[in-house]
């Protein structure tokens, strides 16, 4: 009797692969970044600690106002002001340390990624190279690789820190005044719906801009490499015309991407401004009728402004994921083996033993 396969045995591997593809877009890219897991976890811990400490100053400001200024207690004023200063210095130190470690890991990771791509290109046959444009290959090795590495490295670090700050800030908003907090997040679903609707268009304009940039880079590289033949054939005018057309195409693509980017930024910013205006009005009424202290209102506004940072970070990751999709497609096309394409050996094949005589026929 044949044993039936147990789905549960393969499910974790399938789920892990699905999560990797969802987050990084490529198993190959994840394998390149895996050696930096330890550094990433250290940076993640520092980022989460800094994010948690960043939630403290607005609440300390509330205590300074309510227990120090309003209560006319000079001792409390000095105590909470000193605590506010100390937390600020600790947060600043953690941020500086995290930035230095982040830069060291990021540049090393980018160097390894480019070396891996360069190794793939060096392993291609001359037949493959004859069908490629030098500038296009350079654009993928330089710009696309940098875009992909930056997103993949920042995905966990920036995303996790932003989530901690967002959830912590939202919880403190509800702790200060639940009704006012509900008013602050009332328009958030509409913002998310708009960004979901805009994502396909963002992917399209980003892909078009990258293709136009690669076309221009290819023409410039080929002009420099073939300068003497072009001059000998008197083809300067044709080359300049082709470069001008490529530049015009890039200008149009960049302008479309810029205009659409302004649209995707303006709509969420408008919704956030409307929510903030409503919070200021309702919060002012709450202070007047005594349901919210002045310090609580100031802290609420500080947390509301504080949430702008993590929200923008998450929205930036959302938009960066769209840009990286186009860049990753271009890198995958670079590393994908064409059908029937032989791999160029890293080391020349050894010649058979013998005298090495050459015979010419015809």
Q: For residue 202, what are its two tokens?
A: 């963002």
Q: From the centroid of its chain, how far is CA 245?
A: 31
CATH number at residue 66: 1.20.1560.10
Is 153 a domain residue?
yes
Alpha helices, H only, the chain: 7-24, 27-33, 37-54, 56-63, 74-122, 126-130, 134-139, 145-176, 178-184, 188-225, 227-233, 236-289, 294-306, 308-335
Is 21 a domain residue?
no
Quote the mean pLDDT of the chain.
78
Residues whose CB falls within 8 Å of the CB of residue 276, separated by 6 or more in sequence, listed in order = 184, 304
Q: From the centroid of its chain, how far is CA 56?
A: 27
Residue 8 pLDDT > 60, yes or no? no
What angle, 0 to 180 degrees and rounded to 10, lies between the N-to-C axes of helices 37-54 and 145-176? 30
- pLDDT for residue 348: 59
Neighbours of 259 (CB within 10 A): 10
Among residues 229, 11, 258, 225, which one has the least CA distance to residue 134?
225
Cα–Cα separations (whole angstroms), residue 130 to 137, 211, 283: 12, 19, 68
Q: What is the pLDDT of residues 137-194, one digit of tens each?
A: 777 777 777 777 777 777 777 777 888 888 888 888 888 888 888 887 777 778 778 8
Is 7 a domain residue?
no
Of 119 and 4, the one with more pLDDT: 119
Range name among 34-48, 129-143, 225-239, 339-353 with the lowest pLDDT average: 339-353
Of 266 and 20, the one with more pLDDT: 266
Q: For residue 256, what are its two tokens?
A: 């479309």
Among residues 201, 336, 347, which one has the least CA distance to residue 264?
201
Q: Which domain holds residue 183?
A: 26-335
Residue 316 pLDDT > 80, yes or no? no
Is 176 a domain residue?
yes
Q: For residue 146, what are its two tokens?
A: 């940098």
Q: For residue 191, what are its two tokens?
A: 């913002």
DSSP string, 30-66: HHHHGGGHHHHHHHHHHHHHHHHHHTHHHHHHHHIII
- Contact between 113 and 144 under an 8 Å Cβ cutoff? The reply is no
Counting the structural domains of the chain, the total is: 1
Is 16 a domain residue?
no
DSSP string, 271-323: HHHHHHHHHHHHHHHHHHHTSS-HHHHHHHHHHHHHTHHHHHHHHHHHHHHHH
Is 199 a domain residue?
yes
Is 201 a domain residue?
yes
Cα–Cα separations (whole angstroms), residue 75 to 61, 65, 68, 285: 15, 13, 7, 30
Alpha-carbon distance of 244 to 33, in angstroms, equals 39
Task: For residue 11, name the pLDDT band (cuts at 50, 70, 90).
Answer: very low
Is 20 a domain residue?
no
């Amino acid at each position: 009797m044949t044993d039936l396969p147990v789905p549960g045995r393969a499910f974790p591997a399938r789920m892990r692969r699905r999560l990797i593809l969802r987050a990084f877009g490529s198993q190959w890219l994840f394998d390149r970044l895996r050696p930096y897991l330890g550094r990433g976890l250290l940076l993640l811990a520092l980022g989460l600690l800094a994010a948690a400490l960043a939630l403290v100053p607005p609440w300390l400001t509330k205590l300074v106002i309510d227990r120090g200024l309003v209560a006319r207690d000079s001792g409390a004023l000095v105590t909470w002001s000193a605590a506010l200063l100390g937390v600020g210095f600790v947060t600043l130190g953690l941020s500086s340390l995290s930035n230095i470690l982040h830069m060291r890991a990021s540049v090393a990771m980018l160097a390894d990624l480019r070396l891996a791509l360069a190794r793939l290109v060096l392993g291609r046959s001359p037949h493959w190279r004859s069908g490629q444009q030098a500038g296009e290959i350079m654009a993928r090795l330089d710009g696309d690789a940098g875009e992909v590495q930056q997103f993949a490295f920042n995905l966990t670090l920036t995303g996790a820190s932003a989530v901690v700050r967002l959830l912590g800030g939202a919880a403190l908003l509800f702790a200060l005044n639940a009704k006012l907090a509900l008013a602050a997040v009332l328009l958030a679903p509409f913002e998310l719906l708009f960004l979901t609707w805009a994502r396909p268009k963002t992917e399209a304009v980003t892909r078009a801009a990258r293709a136009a940039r690669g076309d221009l880079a290819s023409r410039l590289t080929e002009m420099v490499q073939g300068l003497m033949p072009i001059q000998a054939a008197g083809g300067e005018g044709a080359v300049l015309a082709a470069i001008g057309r490529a530049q015009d195409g890039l200008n149009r693509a960049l302008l479309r991407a810029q205009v659409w980017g302004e649209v995707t930024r303006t709509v969420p910013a408008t919704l956030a401004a409307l929510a903030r205006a409503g919070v200021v009005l309702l919060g002012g009424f709450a202070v007047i009728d005594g349901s919210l202290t002045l310090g609580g209102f100031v802290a609420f506004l500080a947390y509301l402004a504080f949430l702008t940072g993590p929200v923008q970070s998450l929205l930036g990751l959302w938009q960066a994921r769209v840009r990286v999709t186009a860049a990753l497609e271009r890198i995958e096309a670079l590393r994908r083996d064409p059908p029937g394409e032989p791999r160029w050996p890293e080391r020349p094949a050894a010649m058979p033993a013998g005298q090495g005589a050459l015979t010419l026929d015809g």
